[in-house]
Chains A and B, each alone.
Chain A
Amino acid sequence: MNYALWFQLASPEIVLSASGLVLLLIAAWGGVQSSRLVSVLTVVALFGALALSFNFLLGDSFANGADAFYGQYRMDRFASLSKVLIFLSAIGCVIVAPKFFARDNMMRPEFPILILFASVGMGLMVSAVDLLTLYIGLELNSLAAYVLASFLRSDDRSAEAGLKYFVLGALASGILLFGMSLLYGFTGTTSFIGIQTAFADGVSTGALFGIVFVLSGLAFKISAVPFHMWTPDVYEGAPTPVTTFFATAPKVAALALTMRVAIEAFGGQQAIWQQIVIFVALASIILGAAGAIGQVNIKRLLAYSSINNVGFMLIGLACGTPEGASAMLTYLVIYVAMTLGSFICVLDLNDREGHPVEDIGKLAGLSRTRPGLAAALAIFMFSLAGIPPLFGFWGKFVVFDAAVAAGLIPLAAIGIAASVIGAFYYLKVIKVMYFDEPADVIAPSGSKARMVLVAMAALFLSPLGYFTTLALSPVTADAARALFWAA
């Protein structure tokens, strides 16, 4: 028992929790006026946690990771890389939010605090090596997320999104819990490594049900087909900064969690979950692409795009190899940049009265009225479609390379052919912005912060991004290796 070490390992979450509690007090006393101060302090706290995670990720002191709290929590490079992505996304969302809420006078100090608590939950999720920690982290994140979805109380769509998210999320949590109870009942343990040991000599039917239920519950959280139905509605209804958050940080956390559960807890029984993951991956790619074609609302379109991208990432998981996991993490890094960038672009689409524009048709001729924003959005769209030389291609490249190396050639062939369907609707956005006559609806940007974030994401996703591959690949490979320590 070494509490000092344990606290050190969990320091990112501890920093966030402590600052969250202090900020709650500030918010309670300061009221609405304190929201700016609270936002700034939240960003500072998140940067602090980010620095700690970075240190764990790149430093040598905990190269092989370490367990804490009696095997409930693990700090390793995999968790640290996920946390870096989560905290970066959270910072982006906190920075862009105030301007959006200011229009309706709806900015509250609770917004950054909720994001802070959600981040604590996500940190726990990616560090969980026990079903209990997993569930606590997941629920901490989800509860904050339900409130965030309905943050615009007076807006019907936002309230509907919150309610829908809550009801379906509760259902998914129930499914997950049921699966976990089955697993506990049939293996006698809640720890991942214990489950793996128990599965070493075969899986009973009951435990098999447990695996299926747990994976179903997780599929809901990552919005993979067939548990994706909530995604377009929630993404459309939730306030755009919140959607930005949903599409990035919780996605990273849930995908990372899925990876750890599949590879660590169910690692010995790859044949069982592999077929589930392959089905879910292909279904997500195809449905995500086909569903997006008819969309006229850009937030719904991006929701389908995120379903589609989750499908591609799951191909990496389906490989069940360290290369596959590493590819998935690389894709995740690129996915966060693409999603963050495109949603911040959407945030910046306002008409002259300051109302948000979400109708794709109204982006007509954006390349003439706002060439910079249109170019950035075009980079994000081509990247999401995975067209070289943009860096989005690299994510697909590593994932399909891993799939071919793992012998899943039919999966790779079908997946990459289905990506052409996806290209169709990404092209539509570009067509509207570049080929159509200007509709002249979109007002000039009023926010430098957004433009800086968009420019950073666009630069990363431009062909210049390939120069980061030499630095990025060892990091993701190290992180992926951390998952396979018991194998």
Chain B
Amino acid sequence: MNDLGFPVLSLMLAVPMAAAIVCLFVSANTARWLALTATLIDLALGIVLWMNYDIGGAQWQFVEKAALFDRFSWALGIDGIALMLIMLSVFLMPICIGASWEAIQTRVGEYMAAFLLMEVLMIGVFAAQDIFLFYIFFEAGLIPMYLIIGIWGGANRIYASYKFFLYTLLGSVLMLIAMFWMVNEAGTSDIPTLMAYDFPLEAQSWLWLAFFASFAVKMPMWPVHTWLPDAHVQAPTAGSVILAGVLLKMGGYGFIRFSLPMFPDASVDYMWLVFALSMVAVVYTSLIALVQSDMKKLIAYSSVAHMAIVTVGLFAFNRQGLEGALVVMLSHGLVSGALFLCVGVIYDRLHTREIDRYGGLSINMPRYALLFLLFTMASIGLPGTSGFVGEFLSLLGIYEVSSWVAIVSTTGIILGAGYMLYLYRRVAYGVIKSDDVAAMPDLNKREIALLLPIAIVVLWMGVYPESFMAPMRNDVGALEARLAAVKPVGDAQVTPGTAPVLTPAAHAEEGHH
């Protein structure tokens, strides 16, 4: 079993699952409280998990295994990377429930059930140690998200929900075929074993591409990112938070867990593909973000740009790049989630996401303006916030591999500052243009309770990232070791210079002048 003496990961899946079923049959208010309780229990279990995680101990901890099914088994277990992503999920979930407390008034029971189911599937994705179990959790997330967007979404929700569903489904079906091949070849569906298995070189390319199709859509990478702005704009606030906060991270997690360790040679071969797509994404989506008039769309495009920094960092094949990418993932999960919450706060008051309708909010909503400013700065990557740590490390990592990629990716930070500050100026500064904006009240207690915890963690991660990086260090090290054999030679060959030897004669000569 594990150190705790009870199957903590299964319990973390069972609690929201049970609550989801009950939510379907109870009244709206009961469903809200039940969902909040269940997600808080999961958060508590997550903290227990983190407290008991033995940093520097076994690579896989809290391992559970039960042969419940034919051909695949109920195998759960986490390493430091999965631990951090599970923490992100369980941390954001109560906030999502809180954000929907008043915004969702129709079919509350079903809504809460869909979110709790979503939580089960997210934790399942990060904890699964069987490749098919992973696939089931990974794909199953489509169903609740489809319903969340389609039932509680905005005006154009049907189109967005279809696009989300079919895009991601098409991306991942080929991955399943690749998984079949791998399991046939290696004779096991156990992820840790597969991570150490050396697949034949000619097969790796195909397998890598099949997995890439899935993760690139999920991530999302340019040019298969177009589902994301639609899904974000139409989804309810909490749906956007979970989409940006956790679902996008599944793509990055997939690269770390599957593509890089299982197909190291193919990863190097296709490194330039990833770099090219990422560079386009950084510049292109940042420029698109600059001209958006819809707040949610702007943040959605900024997500694509930030995720491109993640892929660049991951394919740098060195410690700085990998750790940086992971921190960007965590940081972006918090910051973009918080930004969507900020949009949700004013959307609940004015029912529009048009940037031009707002202005001067720092006059009548000072507390809101302060928190919004903090998250804007974190999104830009200001030192002291979580965004800085991740982006700095990622770019440092990639600089070792390719100066050009580093230079192009760095423009993302400048452009990021451009569109985020421009957004903030238009929303918070200036004069109040209309009476209905002037009448908007500042944050209430519930909203502060949602945003403040995120703000604290964002600063914590910015000032003392060691708390978050320590559990992942050994796992990044293991991955780096796995990739060491194929690591490409970078173009930044820094060679220590030799100091000019100063001879006494030279001194003497100098002395004459």
A positions within 8 Å CB-CB of B: 368, 382, 387-389, 393, 397-398, 400-401, 404-405, 409, 412-413, 416-417, 419-420, 423-424, 427, 431, 434-435, 466-467, 469-470, 472-473
Contacts and interface: CB of A to CB of B under 8 A. Distances in A.
Interface string B59-88: 000000001111100000000000000000
A424 B69 contact: no
B158 A431 contact: yes
Nearest to B124: A389
Interface residues of B, number: 33
Interface in B147-200: 147, 150-151, 157-158, 161-162, 165-166, 169-170, 173-174, 176-177, 180-181, 184
B169 A423 contact: yes
A88 to B, nearest CB: 21
B136 interface: yes
Contacts of B137: 389
A346 B169 CA distance: 27
A387 B140 contact: yes
A394 to B, nearest CB: 9
A401 B142 CA distance: 22
Contact of B162 (A400, A427, A472): A427
A435 B161 contact: yes
Interface in B66-121: 67-71, 107
Nearest to A404: B180
Main SS at interface, chain B: helix
B69 to A, nearest CB: 5
Contacts of B176: 397, 400, 416
Contacts of A393: 136, 139
Given A387-B143, A424-B162, 10 more contacts: A387-B169, A388-B135, A388-B136, A397-B176, A400-B180, A404-B180, A413-B174, A413-B177, A417-B173, A427-B146
A434 B147 contact: yes
A388 B140 CA distance: 5
A193 B412 CA distance: 71
B180 A467 contact: no
A413 B174 CA distance: 6
24 contacts: A387-B139, A387-B143, A388-B139, A389-B140, A393-B136, A397-B132, A397-B176, A400-B180, A401-B71, A401-B180, A401-B184, A404-B180, A413-B174, A420-B170, A420-B173, A424-B166, A427-B165, A427-B166, A431-B161, A431-B162, A434-B151, A467-B68, A469-B69, A470-B67
A472 B181 contact: no
A435 B150 contact: yes
A434 B177 contact: no
Contacts of B132: 397
Contacts of B181: 404, 409
A416 B210 CA distance: 12
B69 A387 contact: no
Nearest to B206: A409
Contact of A400 (B67, B147, B177): B177
Contacts of A419: 173
Given A404-B181, A469-B69, A435 B174 contact: no
B70 A420 contact: no
Most chain A CB atoms below 10 A, which of B70, B107, B165: B70
A147 B184 CA distance: 48
B143 A382 contact: yes
Contacts of A388: 135-136, 139-140
A409 B177 contact: yes
Give the most central of B67, B169, B177: most A CB within 10 Å: B177
A389 B13 CA distance: 14
A321 to B, nearest CB: 12
Contacts of B161: 431, 435
Contacts of A389: 136-137, 140
A382 B139 CA distance: 12
Given A389-B140, A434-B151, A435-B161, A404 B69 contact: no
Contacts of A409: 177, 181
Contacts of B166: 420, 423-424, 427
A470 B169 contact: no
Contacts of A417: 170, 173-174
Closest 6 CB pairs of A and B: A469-B70, A404-B180, A388-B136, A473-B70, A389-B140, A416-B173
